[in-house]
């Protein structure tokens, strides 16, 4: 198993984004955290666990639903460096990774109202997530997308 894909407390590390979120934010050029056999298209191009998206070159507008766990910060770091990404992760706003890679580097955040129901890699909907989720925009164009999306939640522009 690739070190950037650690298991979480649930024993799973691949939870797919609900399609309605992707539809409201896309299209995307790259998904560096795609499942090996995706049940739906998340981006035009993708990397799987076999490719290790953290070490690959990224081009264009990136969608990133990183594996949750200790290495989430590495994905946020790469997204901030690429500066043309929208990330979906748990809203762990008090953590060191948020202070290092979101509060000081992102252009905007969008807190999703309620708890998401992620999907299994076969496409079937799972149960309710164990924590609230946030969308993070790196790059001004992605902040505009979050501001104008039709999702239910709260948009906050970040100024630094």
The rounded distance, in Å, linking the Cα atoms of 143 and 128 is 26
The backbone torsions φ and ψ at residue 76, rounded to the nearest 5 degrees and listed phi first, read: -65, -40
Name the pTM for this structure. Answer: 0.89
Q: What is the pLDDT of residues 119-145, one digit of tens each?
A: 888 889 888 888 899 999 999 999 999
Alpha helices in the chain (DSSP H): 19-25, 72-82, 96-101, 140-148
Concatenate the DSSP letters of all residues of 37-74 into one string: S-SS--SSEE--TTT-TTTS---SSEEE-PPPSTTHHH
Would you state the pLDDT for residue 9? 40
């Amino acid at each position: 198993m690739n070190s950037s894909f650690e298991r979480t407390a649930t024993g799973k590390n691949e939870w797919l984004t609900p399609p309605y979120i992707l539809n409201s934010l896309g299209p995307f050029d790259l998904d560096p955290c795609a499942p090996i056999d995706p049940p739906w298209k998340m981006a035009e191009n993708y990397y799987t666990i076999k490719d290790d998206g953290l070490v690959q070159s990224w081009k264009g507008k990136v969608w990133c639903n990183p594996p949750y766990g200790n290495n989430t910060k590495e994905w946020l770091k790469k997204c901030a460096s690429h500066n043309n990404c929208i990330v979906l992760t748990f809203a762990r706003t008090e953590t060191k990774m948020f202070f290092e890679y979101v509060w000081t580097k992102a252009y905007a955040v969008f807190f999703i109202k309620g708890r998401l129901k992620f999907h299994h890699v076969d496409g079937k909907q799972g149960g309710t997530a164990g924590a609230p989720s946030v969308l993070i925009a790196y790059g001004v164009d992605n902040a505009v997308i979050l501001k104008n999306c039709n999702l239910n939640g709260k948009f906050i522009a970040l100024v630094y």
